[in-house]
Amino acid sequence: MRFAVTKACGGGGKARAGALYVGGGGGGGAAVVETPSLLLSTRKGLPAFVSRDLLSTLPSPDSHLLHMLGLQEHILVAAASDSVESLPESEASNKLGASFETPSGRRLVKPSEYMQMITSMKPNLWASLADEVPAWVTEKRNRISVDRTLRWLDDCLAVDLEAGKNTLGAVVGGSNIDERKRCATEASLRNVAGFWIGGFGLGESMEERLALLNAVTDCLPEEKLRYVSRLSLPEEVLQGVAAGIDLFDSTYIYHLTLGGFALVFPLDIVERDNWDSRTDIEGADCTKINLRATIYRKDTSPIVDRCGCFTCQNHTRAYINHLLNVHEMLAQILLEIHNTHHYLGFFRLMREAIKGGKFELFRQRFIKRRRAFLTAEAPCSL
């Protein structure tokens, strides 16, 4: 695994574009994935609804980064917690291991067991076991979580056959800036390929988070990969990129899909150079549409005009509306394909903005546009 920063955004910003190169072991071709990038969430090895043959209709190699188990020509990144089904249960974690609430009950996972799973799964990248705690725990508990996480990082590395070459050292620290810095600094001393930043999305606010993210990235070596979990919404991802994060995993697509939502926000903001605040508010587009709404019953247009995804090339809003109404599985398949395609497009936009030295401008515009939509009248979303 090799990672290199290819473009720093400059102008005081910390956003960076990079390239993640994963060697092609086992016959798969080596791929270069540009960062910032999105890991597609999987459950038991495959996306929730998009099967292997349909996965190939998504842009590549963008869609080849998979969180958890996966497919031969794809890149697997493993982390201990799954944001949908296996959430960390900090009250049950103890000095022996981290506890998770899973569909089959609460499970305590010790570093040795975790490493057993990692050695048999052989992911391309993996995060060390962390003791994640929510934002409201006591200072003492938070401190203990950092101690444990660092100890477990060493435990994992001790039995790692690759001596840390594919390891992402876990960084926690809750909502305490000092603890975050301590954890990041300590983790940097270990011989790891990059860092997995956990403990977010467990109760802290977006306002707090930016300072915490920056505190962490300030203490991490520039040239190594940074991956953060559980930052879902575009705004949160933008925050992460601004703080210098390279990889994200998100449950946004999954939850949108289950709810019958399809992403429609425009993917052409950077191009609109003569941008005027007035026209922008007038033309404020929806972020997403709820295809269950009756206004789509006879809508013969695709979800997004000129979208190149399988769903938009083949089906109409009306058809998906019908599928949702009659509770047919095909609805979720089509929605997950489109939403994934669209969100990957968003990541591509961010990368382009960074490479063009315009990331901060892109971020401001994007957020402003979303807020404008919220304050304006909008008939298209329920």
Q: Which residues are annotated as a binding site for Zn(2+)?
A: 307, 309, 312, 338
Residue 292 interacting with other proteins (CB under 8 A)? no
Nearer to other proteins, 313 or 364 (CB): 313
Q: Residue 297, interface with other proteins (CB under 8 A)?
A: yes
**Counting beta carbons within 10 angstroms of the beta carbon of residue 46, is it exposed (0 to 12), middle (13 to 18) or buried (19 or more)?**
middle
Instruction: Report the C-alpha gap between 196 and 229 in whole angstroms.
Output: 8
Neighbours of 22 (CB within 10 A): 23
Residue 254 as a binder of other proteins (CB under 8 A): the answer is: no
* Choices 13-21, 42-50, 221-229, 279-287 (CB under 8 A): range interacting with other proteins: 42-50
Of the candidates 78, 190, 63, the residue with the CA atom closest to the CA atom of residue 124: 78
CA–CA separation, 193 and 3 (whole Å): 8
Residue 10 touching other proteins (CB under 8 A): no
CB of 44 to other proteins, least distance (A): 6
Q: Which of 334, 335, 344, 354 binds other proteins (CB under 8 A)?
A: 334
Judge whether 106 and 100 are in contact, CB under 8 Å.
Answer: yes
**Taking the CB of residue 157, how many other CB atoms lie within 10 A of it?**
19
Residue with tokens 């950092």: 146
CB of 314 to other proteins, least distance (A): 5
d(CA 222, CA 235) in angstroms, rounded, equals 23
Helix (H, G, I), strand (E, B) or coil at 367: helix
Q: Is 296 among the residues that bind other proteins (CB under 8 A)? A: no
Q: How far is the CB of 297 from other proteins (least distance, A)?
A: 7
Query: Given the complex with other proteins, which of 84 and 281 has the nearer CB atom?
Result: 84
Which residue ranges are tagged as binding site? 307, 309, 312, 338
Residues in touch with other proteins (CB under 8 A): 43-49, 51-54, 297-298, 300, 310, 314-316, 318-319, 321-323, 325-326, 328-330, 332-334
